[in-house]
Chain A
Amino acid sequence: VIHLYAFVRGLRELDAGLESRPFGRVTAVVGREERDPLRHGLVVESLLGRADAVLPVRFGERFASEDDLAAAVAPRLEALEQQLDHVAGCVEVGVRVVPHHDSAEAPDGAAYMQARLREQRSLEFVHRALAAHARDSVRTSRDAGYLVARDEVPGFSAAVEQLLASHPALDVLCTGPWAPYSFGAAT
């Protein structure tokens, strides 16, 4: 079984147990069967410092043979190339609402909805303020991801700190920098 970790460009080195498979301008990083999602994540994160562009693959992409892998990648090469261009030199910073007064602990339905609404509004407010500091951004109902050039991370962090300092009631948590998981939409 071949386990697919990520697509990369400008790969400089690989840990033992990992191999690269070039497909034109796109390189796939593969290994043998991987059953641990956490290890998958750690391998992907370790690639960040070892390649110019890293496009993480969701856990669970496994192939019976080299031919199967090539057949799955071939029709998506163009999209993968564009996505690698998009994330080159960038990391992802995650922002999520910390349920301080947890909606899950709400005594009744109305309190729950109000707590959820507060979380949503916090995230919307933060998202509007931070999107301007990122190359790209993705928002879901509970969290947001920001694509930030590696050397712009300190500036982005400063923007977050400034935002939190001027709005002490905000309950948000900044995580990362991560490999840019949110910027490789299903192709």
Chain B
Amino acid sequence: MSVVERRSLADQLTLVDLVDRVLNKGVVVTGDVTLSVADVDLVYVGLRLLLASAATFEREREAA
């Protein structure tokens, strides 16, 4: 693997990390995403489905 490829792999993993943090970690004060305005929330639901990480999936399976 070339240095450039390594570099781009590291960048991708870091981006995945940021998205993973933003969507799966951090303080929650409302309990869950507010699902009150239908047209907007479809966007949120879609994003969460697309980006929900393998880690969360595993955690939820373990908890179930």
Contacts and interface: CB of A to CB of B under 8 A. Distances in A.
Contact of A187 (B10, B27, B44): B27
Contacts of B17: 94, 96, 143, 175, 178
Contacts of A59: 22-23, 26
Contact of B58 (A7, A141, A185): A141
B29 interface: yes
Interface in B28-56: 28-30, 32-34, 36, 40, 43-44, 47-48, 51, 54-55
- Interface magnitude class on chain A: 35 or more
A61 B29 contact: yes
B18 to A, nearest CB: 5
A94 to B, nearest CB: 6
Contacts of B18: 38, 41, 178
Q: Interface majority SS on B: helix, strand, loop or mixed?
A: helix
Contacts of A83: 27
B25 to A, nearest CB: 4
Q: Interface majority SS on A: helix, strand, loop or mixed?
A: mixed
Contact of B29 (A33, A38, A56, A76): A76
Given A64-B36, A142-B58, A181 B23 contact: no
Contacts of B36: 64
A57 B10 contact: no
B13 A173 contact: yes
B7 interface: no
Interface string A33-44: 101011011001
Interface of B: 9-10, 13-14, 17-19, 21-30, 32-34, 36, 40, 43-44, 47-48, 51, 54-55, 58-59, 62
Given A76-B29, A181-B22, A182-B21, 8 more contacts: A38-B19, A41-B22, A44-B22, A58-B22, A60-B33, A64-B34, A98-B13, A184-B25
Q: Enumerate the 6 nearest inter-chain pairs by beta-carbon distance, A residue then B residue, closest first.
A: A58-B26, A60-B33, A181-B25, A184-B27, A41-B22, A56-B26
